[in-house]
Structure 1
Amino acid sequence: MTESATQPMVRATLEDVARAAGVSLATVDRVVNRREGVRAKTVARVEAAVAKLGYRADVAAARLARGQSFRFAFVLPTGSNSFMTNLSEQVQRTAGWLAGQRGFIDIRHVDVFDPEVLAGALEDLSPVYQGVAVVALDHPKVRDAIDGLTARGVVVVTLVSDAPSSRRLHYVGIDNPAAGRTAATLMGRFLAARDGKVAVIAGSLSLRDHSERQFGFHQILSSEYPNLATLPVIEGRDDSERTRELTTALLKRHADLRGIYCCGAGNRGIAEALEASGRARDVVWITHELTQHTRRFLVRGTLDAIINQDPGHEARSAARVLLAHCMEEPISPDQERIRIDIFLRDNLP
């Protein structure tokens, strides 16, 4: 290993650029900040030094010097949904990084299944916030509340679940119809040529992510796997006890139930019902989100596959998008694209 490879990388300063270009610090400052009054030949020398040294402005330090900071609200669901708990934890971790950028996060937990409650929470947000990230319900009252924030100059990012006809700036989440289609393809292949019924359990079809997933699921299952008939969607409101009761009823009512696709949460209830029925190894079960509970169900064979989205990536992406908008900086679409992961028992991280 060479000596240079063992040395820590030192960030170039304006003083370094000034020495390399043979000009004053004031001249470098004028060139870097695109102010007039510097000869073209001097500008070229400074820009060459900037390129050679790899100088980058310390944006956080500049904001600190100007006393500038931003505050964002993350509006997340109440309840015991394990994925949303993970998302909340990741937002808290992201808050530590964002504080170094002079950005600050407050988390608000509300019932996102109730449009009046969610809309009211958005409408009542303090004017101290420059940006909001919200797990959205696609409902007229919620869309109106988002539009109201935007009209006040507050940038809104939808997180995990979208409200696409609102005036939100950006959606941070997976392609949910594609996720549903992926689940259907897995279900069809796992069941091969077996005939029978498949149940779909959502949290609420008012949540855009749940409705889009079940749409994609039906799209593929009905067109490519005619041996499998999908039952009407039932809604468990992401509540484990309610979902357990619904799953128990399904298993009793349909002796030919071959598969269960859960496009929301409530997975502990599904696992309890399947294991209590003695049919856990006979019914193919596919769900969303890798959590401590779904991991356990997958390892012991009750669950067959998990369609996952990374809550850490989503939390960081939402924060980056909000900060970039406030700083009038572009975002990188590739960096902010949330990918769909598929986990089986054999490739668990």
Structure 2
Amino acid sequence: MSPLDARRMSQEEAREAQADRSRRYLELARARRFLPEKISPFYRRKLEEEFEALGSFEGPLARGALASEDRLSLSAPHEIADWVDDRSNTPEGGEDATIRKYADRVLFTPTSICAGHCLYCFRQDILAERHEREDYAFDVRLARLEALLDAEPALREVVISGGDPLTLPAAALRRVLEAVTARPGLRAPRVHSRAPIFAPQSVTAAKAAALGAARARLVLHVVHPYEICGEVEAGLRKLQAEGVRLYNQFPLLRGVNDHPEVLARIVEKLDDLGVRTLSVFVPEPIHGSAAYRVSLARIETIWREFRQTNPSWISAIRLALDSPLGKAQLEDLLRREGDWAIFRRLQGEIRYPDFPAELDQPGSLETLLWKG
């Protein structure tokens, strides 16, 4: 057998193994109420490029989009369905459309549809439930938001998320944005989206114009530097040409970006494009998250090296742990109690179950940055 034939056979075996993992994951997703795999044609081309380079689906982009063996079987103590209490912060009768964790802002989810699914998604409990039932009307969601804004003039900000609001038709997106901008007491709307990464062609000129007219802040979720390519860059420039302000925030994910060099490349590449990185997040201890989580000790090491080896325009971003009480930072760590790390947030305490060090197998830099 020639080396070429051997490589082809090895690749075919890798594809068959991944197809089997995907089948098993679909069964698991149905049973455990996880989001199923969903990959846009644009993003699948990136996965194919990564596969051709590595000969497997174990690269950083694949880990976030395709089921791995540890996504199927690995778990850690104290995992729960809803770490940040989205359900308890949804007003009665809100039908999941609004989530209210802070007194001065509201999270509005006009759709549960995404351009692609991130298997590390930290809101998949609610989103998977919505996928199991018929989605209720967009008009109902928007009317409930408008009623809330009219009833509570003390609100100062609407964060538009989902699902992915940029999967909405341009006319529907414009209506959401206009509902916010029509109220002078509110800041310019903040929109969170992966659509420019998963499917840049879906962010049409009409959607860009609607965001620009609202002076929106668009927060991307770029988790790896290889997600940024010429087509993504062109899409971002189109948004910027309309006056849309661009930001980024993303989770620290094992096997995806868990190395200071990868973090630095994300931030620097986006900075070159005029995108400001705001935060890196500690992965949340939800069901199915063990494949991506990193122990606090290793997070501290990664973050220390990241801060010490990069200039301030790269390293001056926030590392945050989201929680039912809001966002805490490493310096808010008070003490440890066995498996638990206790953080202070305002006048309360956050009990965070640390990820076991024996399960924390770091990503290989050679694989994380396979392009060199």
Q: Above 0.5 in TM-score?
A: no
TM-score computed with the length of structure 2 as normaliser: 0.29
Q: Who wins on radius of gyration, i.e. which is larger?
A: 1
Report the structure, 1 or 2, having the larger helix content.
Answer: 1
Flag the structure with more relative contact order, 1 or 2, with Cα contacts below 8 A and sequence separation at least 6. Answer: 2
TM-score (structure 1 length as normaliser) = 0.31
